[in-house]
Amino acid sequence: MKILIVCSKNSGHIAPFILEQTQALERAGVELEFFAIEGKGLGGYLKNRKKLIQKIQQFNPEIIHAHYGLAGLLANTQRKVPVVTTYHGSDINDPKIFPFSWLNMLLSAHNIFVSEKNQQKTGLLKNNSLIPCGVDLKMFKPTEKTEARELLGLEQNKNYILFAGAFDNKVKNAELAIKAVDRLDNACLLELRGYTREQIALLMNAVDTALMTSYSEGSPQFIKEALACNCPVVSVPVGDVPYMIKNLNGCYISSYDPNDVAAKLKLAMSFGKLTDGRKRIVELSLDNESVAGRILEVYKGVRSKK
């Protein structure tokens, strides 16, 4: 089966969760090529149409799999090859982008949502599936904390909290995280910026807890990857996080009150052992291979209708 992946490369690289998903699909026998979009906003995306048509003629895919609503809309400007679109959260939660995503949902042969909350928000009754992105369990796995800190050059006697993104990403709401951590003794908030995937996996083993304070999310990879490392988690009730960590010892849901976030961080840091997060990821079949299998079934269904 030949699949053309259409996604953004505006940040200078293709998002790791897209790359890792496609690698799992390739291991399942799918032949893949990428069409990387460069250009921002609807106008910037649509300027890629001519090059996309040329890529389709060259590769001759059976299906186009677009990631995010605007990429799907670009892919659907041609009607020869059916389009499967995955929506990752910002394309549903941003009111400026949602109307374009909604139009794309009507045009796509199948729509994949990474969280039930976003799936329900659309009101779609057919041609859609709930398939969160998976986790690379070979990379994100438990490692001894002392060793991880030594490799990263972190102090052994400090309380480290890993923030779920860059501080200047407004959606991630770093202001709340900083206010909460300022209420704690001997605690350091680490910004998730400039690390390799391997270093991020080490960080999730080196820190005392992972923290998410975002205003909106879909099915955040940050949380799933932290769970795969058995790292304690504190998060506001965003995306599918409450479902992911429900009844999981060492993981806590907080309100958007900095005092409550600080209190939950204290609980997580005093938990003092690994969580059963990895077991939860396995139970939910959120490893990359299981997710790739479900996406492959979507492809087969679309192909049978073609």
pTM of the model: 0.91
206-224 confidence digits (pLDDT tens): 999 999 999 999 999 999 9
Higher pLDDT, 193 or 10: 193
Domains of the chain: 2-134+287-305 (3.40.50.2000), 145-283 (3.40.50.2000)
pLDDT at residue 37, as a whole number:
95
Q: What is the mean pLDDT of the chain?
A: 95
* pLDDT higher than threshold 90 for residue 98: yes
131-168 confidence digits (pLDDT tens): 999 999 999 999 999 999 999 999 999 999 999 999 99
* pLDDT higher than threshold 90 for residue 13: no
pLDDT at residue 10, as a whole number:
82
* pLDDT higher than threshold 90 for residue 126: no
214-262 confidence digits (pLDDT tens): 999 999 999 999 999 999 999 999 999 999 999 999 999 999 999 999 9
pLDDT tier for residue 23 given thresholds of 50, 70 and 90: very high
* pLDDT higher than threshold 80 for residue 306: no
pLDDT at residue 12, as a whole number:
82
pLDDT at residue 262, as a whole number:
98
pLDDT at residue 123, as a whole number:
86
Q: What are the residues whose beta carbons fall under 8 Å from the beta carbon of 31, sequence distance 6 or more? A: 1, 2, 3
